[in-house]
Amino acid sequence: MITAADIREQVRGDVTDYQQLVSCLRGYAKPRDRISGLLADGSLIRIRKGLYVFGERYRRAPLSREHLANLIYGPSYVSLDYALSHYGLIPERVENVTSVTTGENRRFETSLGDFTYRSLHPRRYAPGIRWAGERNAHYLMATPEKALVDKVWADKRIRTTNRKDFDAYLFEDLRLDEAQVAALDHERLEAICAAFSSRKIDQLARCLTRQGGNSS
């Protein structure tokens, strides 16, 4: 019988998919039955249809939920509240891994937490994202500037371009960290805002640039 340890030797990372498992179980007439057994004893954990992680006993490193977020639904990159929290721009700790996608809005509830995806037009998608992570757990994530632009674009609570209202939203509602705002890359911010071509996002850029100037 092919054991989880046998499969573990053939799989490089801690995340695997159905096709890779079938390849490891190619001696079985019904590999799906063996996969069901591995799921039943906790050697494998199903994240979504066709996507699995090894149980804790067989993991070689802590799981990256950001890496999983890219794999669960794509194309996508980690952004919005989760990224803002990661960068220290907002004070809250965010457990739900939030991402942006060119696909439809989606939400996945898994044993490893919730993953949500917000749709964005393809022309606004790419500017301001980069690779992060290590070794077998690379993932796409928004830069601090892109995460903030995505948040403001997606948040229906802020519809105005009035300067006073915008400042109140950013620094009273979102409670942005002023030191982190001052450290933003304004050239990158301008490039991202250009892709959005939006009065609301242009006002965001003006507010952040003004705040950066006040902090210098």
Within this chain, do residues 78 and 183 fall inside the same structural domain, yes or no? yes
Within this chain, do residues 94 and 124 fall inside the same structural domain, yes or no? yes
pTM (2 d.p.): 0.93
Count up the domains in the chain and report the number: 2
Within this chain, do residues 130 and 155 fall inside the same structural domain, yes or no? yes
What is the domain extent for residue 26? 4-58
Tell me the average pLDDT across 36-48.
97
Lowest-pLDDT range of 71-85, 103-117, 150-164, 172-186: 150-164
Within this chain, do residues 104 and 169 fall inside the same structural domain, yes or no? yes
Within this chain, do residues 110 and 186 fall inside the same structural domain, yes or no? yes
Within this chain, do residues 78 and 155 fall inside the same structural domain, yes or no? yes
Within this chain, do residues 99 and 124 fall inside the same structural domain, yes or no? yes
Tell me the average pLDDT across 112-135.
96
User: What is the predicted pLDDT for the residue at 209?
Assistant: 84
Tell me the average pLDDT across 14-35.
96
The residue from 58, 78, 96 where one domain ends is 58
Report the CATH number that the domain containing residue 38 is assigned in CATH: 1.10.10
Within this chain, do residues 12 and 79 fall inside the same structural domain, yes or no? no
Within this chain, do residues 24 and 90 fall inside the same structural domain, yes or no? no
CA 152-158-162 angle, to 5 degrees, is: 110
Percent pLDDT > 90 in the chain is 88
Tell me the average pLDDT across 187-202.
94
Within this chain, do residues 138 and 98 fall inside the same structural domain, yes or no? yes
Tell me the average pLDDT across 57-77.
96
Within this chain, do residues 75 and 112 fall inside the same structural domain, yes or no? yes
Does the pLDDT at position 205 exceed 70?
Answer: yes
Within this chain, do residues 98 and 32 fall inside the same structural domain, yes or no? no
User: What is the predicted pLDDT for the residue at 216?
Assistant: 45
pLDDT, tens digit, 9 for 90 and up, residues 74-101: 999 999 999 999 999 999 999 999 999 9
